[in-house]
Every structure is written in C-alpha cells, then in structure tokens.
C-alpha cells in the first residue's frame, strides 16, 4: 500500500463540504443507532408488563435464579443479561469492524440484535428471555463501537462535531418513541399478544427498515485504503464527490497539508498504550468510568429525605455551573465537572424503596397518570 495514495484518499474525504450527500450518509448510520437505543432503553418502559407476565419467578428464571447470590434477582436479571451481552460484544468482538469492514459489521450486527430481540419477544420463561437478551446485547456492543468509528472515518474532520450532534439527536428520538409505544401498548394485549411484546417487535421491524436502506451507506474509504484496497476506496470517494458536485457545482481543492498529515503508518491496538497515546487512553478511560460516578448515591439514597436530595442536588449543580463559568485552571475545571456530574446523577437517583433501581425517564400508564417504572434488583 502506498502511504501517499492512502493519504490522498483521506485528504479528498476531508475536503468534502457540508452537503445533502454527506448528511444523508450520517442520517442513515444514525438511524441504525436509533434502533439500538430503542432496544437498550425499552426495558425501563416494558418492565411492568414483563413483571405481570410472571417471567421473573425463581422457577421461570432457571439458571439465572443463581444470580441472587450477587444480589441480582427478578427483573434485575434481564438488566444484567443486557449489559453482560454489551460487555462481551465490546470486549470480544469490537475488532470485527477492523477485520471485516465498517459496513459489513454495521449491517451484520444490526441483523444480529434484531433477530435475537424478535426471538426474545416470543419467549415464555425468564431463562429463555434472558438468554436471548444476552445474545442481543452482544450485537449492541459490536454496533456501539462500529457506529462511532464509521462516522469518524466517513465525515470530514471539520464537520465531525456537527455529525456527532446530529447522530445523538437522531439516536435519542428513540427514547420518547419507545415511551409512547409502551404507554399505549403495555397495558393492553392487541390481537391477544401482550403489549410489551408488541413494543419489542415494533423496534425490530423499524431496524429492518434501516437495514433495507443500507445501499445508501458506502464502505469507509479510509478502512479500504488501510487494507490496501485503494481502487475500491477511490471508487467510493469518487462517487461521494460526484454527488456533491451535482448538488453544489464545485469542490474545494485537496490540501497538501492534509495529505501529509494523514500519511501515517498502519496502527495497531497496542499503540494506544504507548508513547503520546498512553496518557490520552488513560484519561478517556477514567472519563468514561467517571460518567457513572453519581451512582455512588446508592450509599445514602435511602438515608436522606428525597426532597433534600433533589433540592441539594439542584443547588450543588447551580453552584458548580457558576464556578465553571469563572474557572480557568484545567485541574479546577475537571474537578468542577466531577462535582456537577455527581450532583446531577445523585439528584436523578431518587424515590422508591430500598433495593430498587429507578429509571427516571421511564413512562408507564397507571390510572391515567405518568410515573417512573421501578426495576427490581432484589
């Protein structure tokens, strides 16, 4: 593979301006992520229906009943299966996209979790439900890392912030959608099928529709170039350039600086733990772990009055925001950010009896009122 040729592919991509051709690719990839979000978030909304089905008794759970030794029981086993599958998918299969290509893994993982979720919807035991939820979770984990990589490689460097903002906006539309469907369907049984099963199946149908649109998503030219498949990479970039030219009439010139900057040797996974990347890897790992630091609130959630937690959390958030606006030291900014995250997550982890996990965005229908769904973990 010629380093200059691979760099030229990257440089041509980076000069692509904002255009309908580019945003259509971002939207299609993001729609795949939206149904992944749908599947990850629906447990909070269908929990009452699943509990009502009697799927989480000791006899129904089979081997999963042994999780009680870890203080995980009832509906908590379903949540456990979801995130265990995610963990396995990320750890064991995250490099699949590097080997088989971004588009191939994007579509395969989409079909993987759609099929597993659809099969799960027809299970009549907690054990079967959890097994298929674990299998679906593996697909979620693979999709999770593939989408981010896909966007980074297809979108020019100058537009990636907007691309990820668009991606997150589209993905999170799945949350109110699943909430609405659960509100309408969970209390009933259309055509004799329990409402929660309909919610699960509708997400699978939507994801299949996205899979049908996969022809509008090209393979990553950067990945193709890294594999030495320069002719294929050139064809993909040429097609994108043609579509942009038809829309805008012209293209910016290819910058020589960009070509030189992208002429880098082929990287390996071990490289992220070496040299200048070691510190970045450590920092980002700590950041991602710290995102859930607020769940330390479990230590006092049942010892302090809910009203006090809510008001105290809001007051702490307000003070942290005011301090953040005036701070200039990197260390101080990071510290304030940690305090704000702690206060925000603590404020959200409120209500309910000891031993219950609360999903504050949950929505279910009971006597015509909106309320949070409680997920039993004990």
- CATH code of the domain covering residue 172: 1.20.1250.20
Of 195, 229, 264, the residue that ends a domain is 264
Residue 269 lies in a domain: no
Residue 270 lies in a domain: no
Instruction: Please choose, from the candidates 39, 33, 14, the residue with its C-alpha nearest in 3D space to the C-alpha of residue 254.
Output: 14
User: How far is the CA of 111 from the CAs of 68, 178, 205, 206, in angstroms?
Assistant: 32, 20, 11, 11
- Shared domain for 236 and 320, answered yes or no, is no
Q: How many domains does the chain have?
A: 2
- Shared domain for 181 and 310, answered yes or no, is no
Range of the domain at 200: 3-264
pLDDT, tens digit only, all 378 positions of the chain = 444 588 889 899 999 999 999 999 999 999 888 988 999 889 989 999 999 999 999 999 999 999 988 778 899 999 999 999 999 998 898 889 999 999 999 999 989 999 999 999 999 999 999 999 999 999 999 998 899 899 999 999 889 989 998 998 999 899 899 999 999 999 999 999 999 999 999 988 877 877 777 788 999 999 999 899 999 999 999 999 999 999 999 999 887 655 454 445 566 778 888 888 898 888 888 777 766 555 575 566 667 776 787 788 888 889 998 998 888 888 898 888 888 877 776 655 444 333 333 333 333 333 333 333 333 333
- Shared domain for 105 and 183, answered yes or no, is yes
- Shared domain for 116 and 177, answered yes or no, is yes
Question: Which residues contact residue 66 at a Cβ distance below 8 angstroms, ignoring those fewer than 6 apart?
Answer: none
- Shared domain for 281 and 221, answered yes or no, is no
- Shared domain for 90 and 191, answered yes or no, is yes
- Shared domain for 310 and 217, answered yes or no, is no
Predicted TM-score (pTM) of the model is 0.74
- Shared domain for 248 and 282, answered yes or no, is no
Question: Which residues contact residue 31 at a Cβ distance below 8 angstroms, ignoring those fewer than 6 apart?
Answer: 170, 210, 213
Instruction: State the pLDDT at residue 353.
Output: 36
Contact 52, 279 (CB under 8 A): no
Residue 244 lies in a domain: yes
* Adjacent-strand bridge partners of 370: 365
**What are the φ and ψ backbone dihedral angles of 179, each rounded to 5 degrees?**
-65, -45
């Amino acid at each position: 593979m010629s380093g200059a040729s691979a760099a030229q592919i990257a440089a041509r991509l980076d000069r692509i301006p904002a255009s309908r051709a580019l945003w259509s690719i971002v939207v299609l990839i993001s729609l795949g992520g939206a149904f992944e979000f749908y599947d990850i978030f629906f447990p909070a909304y269908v929990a009452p229906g699943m509990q009502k089905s009697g799927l989480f008794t000791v006899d129904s759970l089979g081997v999963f009943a042994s999780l009680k030794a870890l203080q995980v029981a009832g509906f908590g086993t379903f949540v456990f299966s979801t995130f265990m599958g995610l963990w396995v998918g990320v750890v064991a299969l995250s490099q699949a996209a590097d080997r088989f290509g971004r588009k191939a893994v994007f579509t395969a993982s989409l079909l993987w979790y759609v099929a597993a979720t659809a099969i799960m919807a027809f299970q009549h035991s907690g054990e079967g439900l959890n097994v298929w939820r674990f299998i679906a979770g593996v697909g979620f984990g693979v999709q999770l890392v593939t989408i981010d990589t896909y966007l980074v490689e297809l979108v020019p460097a100058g537009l990636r912030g907007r691309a990820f903002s668009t991606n997150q906006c589209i993905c999170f539309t799945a949350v109110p959608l699943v909430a609405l469907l659960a509100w309408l369907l969970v209390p009933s049984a259309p055509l004799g099928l329990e409402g929660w099963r309909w919610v699960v199946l509708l997400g699978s149908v939507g994801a299949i529709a996205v899979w049908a649109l996969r022809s509008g998503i090209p393979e990553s030219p950067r990945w193709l170039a890294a594999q030495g498949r320069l002719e294929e990479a050139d064809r993909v970039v040429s097609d994108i350039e043609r579509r942009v030219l038809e829309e805008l009439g012209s293209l910016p010139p290819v910058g020589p600086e960009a070509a030189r900057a992208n002429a880098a040797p082929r990287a390996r996974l071990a490289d992220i733990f070496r040299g200048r990347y070691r510190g970045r890897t450590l920092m980002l790992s700590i950041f991602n772990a710290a995102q859930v630091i607020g769940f330390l609130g479990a230590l006092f959630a049942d010892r302090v009055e809910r009203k006090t937690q809510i008001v105290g959390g809001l007051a702490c958030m307000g003070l942290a925001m005011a301090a953040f606006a005036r701070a200039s030291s990197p260390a101080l900014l990071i510290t304030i950010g940690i305090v704000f995250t702690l206060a925000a997550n603590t404020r959200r982890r409120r209500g309910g009896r000891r031993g219950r996990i609360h999903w504050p965005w949950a929505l279910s229908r009971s006597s015509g009122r909106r309320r949070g769904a409680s997920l039993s973990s004990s």
